[in-house]
């Protein structure tokens, strides 16, 4: 006898065999038990969540020889033939291959005739959204007022493409994607029945890769069993799926926290040698960062379903929460942009280098409390420290090339612009910048704004930038002070020009006129 794949062998034959979808199961069971049957049902959801399985179980319930009930016997002729796909009164149609109006009219020609064998004639139309507009129009009248012996069961992965006139004539049930823990439980039960040895932790990668689909999970389990020679080992499953395990992910995060770019690229090289799918690696990074964020934010989080519990605990204790959020955003965008890279490996390596540029220790905090993304000091601490005035240092005399001219080119706005506007910038060495902030504006100082300035400087300089911020009375003019001085000088010059004008002086002397100084504006207001 030929081998029967798991997805077919363990397809649910009764409502109580379904995994999840309690909201759908409960509604249909109550309708069957209380004889409140509608003439048309629409089951929607992504692939592999059980749309056609529910429809076939419902058809059994309607045509079981023991009577209409929520628990078909499963052994009578009708139940057996429905399970085997040869029941004459169950007409299954794949709308994707029969989209034309002539196909629909042919399908509906025999609607008025009574069932040949069963109690009801059931029309199961899969991927119904693929029907043409004319086909929907042909279906509409019959769908609205079918004979009492006819039931329509429609299934679709895209209900938005179905006309509202059709939707309004159906009871709609949306089947949900299953959570990984539910899929793991189902796979474990299947493997126990099959007598397949399974290593602890081997099923969770399969459940995540299935993305909510029970059918995909069973198909992947079949593949993993074949790959593992009749058993499932976690490392083999990860290798088969092209994902990464905790060891590789730990190596990446260790290299990040230790600012080791060479180790990061070495990990990328090893993954490339193994033919790893870099999209799956990014998905693994996102999963770890998600688990870290949960652990940092929820003290009593249930860690039983953490895929990398030990690694997560280590990262959560070493990387600040705000940096975790930044890392997640970087990886998420990298996952979206990976197809745009020259090749996936370059895109992945660039992502690692980007994470390295925003590592927690990318800028050391000074006595005034500053740094770049990931500094461990809280904004309020930075603001308090900002009130302290550090001793004057000799290198303070080396002003960065005209700070007031550089600030407008950084593209800053809001609070970050205000902070830069009331500070003086110094360059202590290649790529090393220091701002001295006027203490009267210390309330502007926080890690987020400092990072915005550092990032802008990095973009402007085209190289990695180290930035610190101190609070002290600047020895040179800040951009704001310079702008105010120049504006004042121009205003005074404009007033003097008006008051010294011969015509104005004549008016003052002859008619006793007065100059409204507040109404005077210089012609050129630029700095």
CATH number for position 419: 3.30.300.150
CATH number reported for the structural domain that contains residue 315 in this entry: 1.20.272.10
- State the pLDDT at residue 132: 87
In this structure, the answer to whether residues 450 and 492 fall within a common structural domain is no
Q: Which of 157, 174, 191 is the last residue of a domain?
A: 174
Q: What are the distances in angstroms from CA 41 to CA 69, 378, 428?
A: 17, 56, 72
- State the pLDDT at residue 390: 39
In this structure, the answer to whether residues 68 and 196 fall within a common structural domain is no
In this structure, the answer to whether residues 278 and 200 fall within a common structural domain is no
In this structure, the answer to whether residues 493 and 413 fall within a common structural domain is no
User: Exposure pattern of 208-241 as b/e (b: 16+ CB <10 Å)?
Assistant: bbbebbbbbbbbbbeebbeebeeebbbebbbbbb
- What domain count does the chain have? 5
Q: Which of 303, 322, 357 is the last residue of a domain?
A: 357
In this structure, the answer to whether residues 194 and 101 fall within a common structural domain is no
Q: Which of 357, 389, 409 is the last residue of a domain?
A: 357
Residue 52 lies in a domain: yes
In this structure, the answer to whether residues 155 and 228 fall within a common structural domain is no
In this structure, the answer to whether residues 456 and 399 fall within a common structural domain is yes
User: Where are any strands of DSSP class E within 45-189?
Assistant: 90-94, 121-126, 150-156, 171-174
Residue with tokens 């300035």, as numbered in its chain: 453
Reference 372, options 313, 446, 314; nearest CA is 446
In this structure, the answer to whether residues 283 and 296 fall within a common structural domain is yes
In this structure, the answer to whether residues 57 and 138 fall within a common structural domain is yes
In this structure, the answer to whether residues 116 and 20 fall within a common structural domain is yes
In this structure, the answer to whether residues 37 and 91 fall within a common structural domain is yes
In this structure, the answer to whether residues 488 and 472 fall within a common structural domain is no
> Residue-wise pLDDT tens for the chain (527 aa)?
577 899 889 999 899 889 888 999 999 999 999 989 999 999 999 888 989 999 999 999 999 999 999 999 989 999 999 988 899 999 988 888 877 788 788 888 888 889 988 899 999 999 999 988 888 888 888 888 888 999 999 999 999 999 999 999 999 999 999 988 899 999 999 999 999 999 888 898 898 888 889 999 999 999 999 998 889 998 888 888 877 777 888 889 888 888 888 888 999 998 888 878 888 889 889 989 998 999 888 877 777 667 778 888 888 888 888 889 989 999 999 988 888 888 899 999 999 999 988 765 543 333 333 333 333 333 344 434 433 333 434 444 444 447 888 888 888 888 888 888 889 988 887 788 888 888 888 877 888 888 889 988 888 888 888 888 888 888 888 888 888 888 888 888 777 777 777 777 777 777 777 777 667 666 654 44
> Domain containing 188: what range?
180-241
Q: How far apart are CA 78 and CA 152, in angstroms?
A: 18
Q: Which long-range contacts (CB under 8 A, 24 or more apart) does 13-18 make?
A: 13/57, 13/60, 13/74, 13/83, 14/57, 14/71, 14/72, 14/74, 15/57, 15/70, 15/71, 16/71, 18/50, 18/53, 18/54, 18/57
């Amino acid at each position: 006898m030929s081998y029967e794949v798991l997805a077919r062998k363990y397809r649910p034959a009764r409502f109580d065999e379904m995994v999840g979808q309690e909201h759908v199961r409960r509604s249909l069971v109550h309708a069957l038990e209380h004889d409140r049957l509608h003439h048309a049902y629409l089951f929607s959801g992504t692939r592999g969540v059980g749309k056609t399985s529910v429809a076939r179980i419902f058809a059994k319930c309607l045509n079981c020889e023991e009577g209409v009930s929520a628990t078909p016997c499963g052994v009578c002729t009708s139940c057996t033939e429905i399970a085997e796909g040869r029941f004459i009164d169950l007409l299954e149609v794949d709308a994707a291959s029969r989209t034309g109006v002539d196909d629909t009219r042919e399908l509906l020609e025999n609607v008025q005739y009574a069932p040949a064998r069963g109690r009801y004639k059931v029309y199961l139309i899969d991927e119904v959204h693929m029907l043409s507009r004319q086909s929907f129009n042909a279906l509409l009248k019959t769908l609205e007022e079918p004979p009492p012996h006819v039931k329509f069961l429609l299934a679709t992965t895209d209900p938005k493409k179905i006309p509202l006139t059709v939707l309004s004539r159906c009871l709609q049930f949306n089947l949900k994607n299953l959570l990984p823990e539910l899929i793991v439980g189902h796979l474990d039960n299947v493997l126990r029945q099959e007598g397949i040895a399974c290593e602890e932790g081997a099923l969770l990668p399969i459940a995540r890769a299935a993305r909510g689909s029970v059918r995909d999970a069973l198909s992947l389990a079949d593949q993993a069993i074949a790959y593992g020679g009749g058993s499932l080992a976690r490392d083999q499953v990860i290798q088969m799926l092209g994902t990464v395990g905790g060891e590789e992910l730990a190596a990446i995060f260790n290299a990040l926290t230790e600012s080791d770019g060479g180790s990061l690229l070495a990990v990328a090289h090893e993954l490339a040698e193994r033919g790893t799918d870099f999209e799956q690696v990014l998905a693994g990074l996102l999963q770890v960062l998600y688990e870290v964020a949960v652990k940092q934010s929820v003290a009593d989080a249930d860690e039983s379903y953490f895929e990398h519990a030990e690694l997560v605990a280590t990262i959560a204790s070493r990387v600040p929460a705000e940096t975790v959020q930044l890392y997640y955003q970087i990886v998420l965008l990298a996952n979206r942009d990976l197809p745009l890279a020259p090749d996936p490996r370059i895109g992945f390596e660039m992502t690692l280098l980007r994470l390295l540029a925003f590592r927690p220790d990318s800028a050391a905090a000074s006595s005034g409390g500053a740094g770049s993304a990931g500094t461990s000091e809280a904004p309020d601490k930075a603001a308090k420290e900002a009130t302290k005035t550090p001793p004057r240092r000799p290198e303070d005399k080396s002003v960065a090339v005209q700070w007031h001219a550089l600030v407008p080119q950084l593209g800053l706005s809001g609070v970050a612009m205000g902070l830069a506007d009331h500070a003086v910038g110094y360059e202590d060495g290649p790529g090393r910048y220091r701002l001295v902030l006027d203490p009267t504006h210390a309330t502007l100082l926080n890690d987020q704004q400092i990072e915005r300035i550092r990032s802008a400087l990095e973009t402007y300089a085209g190289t990695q930038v180290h930035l610190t911020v101190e609070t002290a009375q600047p020895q040179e003019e800040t951009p704001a002070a310079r702008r105010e001085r120049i504006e004042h000088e121009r205003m005074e010059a404009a007033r003097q020009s008006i008051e010294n004008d011969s015509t104005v002086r004549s008016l003052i002397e002859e008619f006793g006129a007065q100059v409204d100084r507040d109404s005077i504006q210089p012609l050129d207001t630029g700095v």
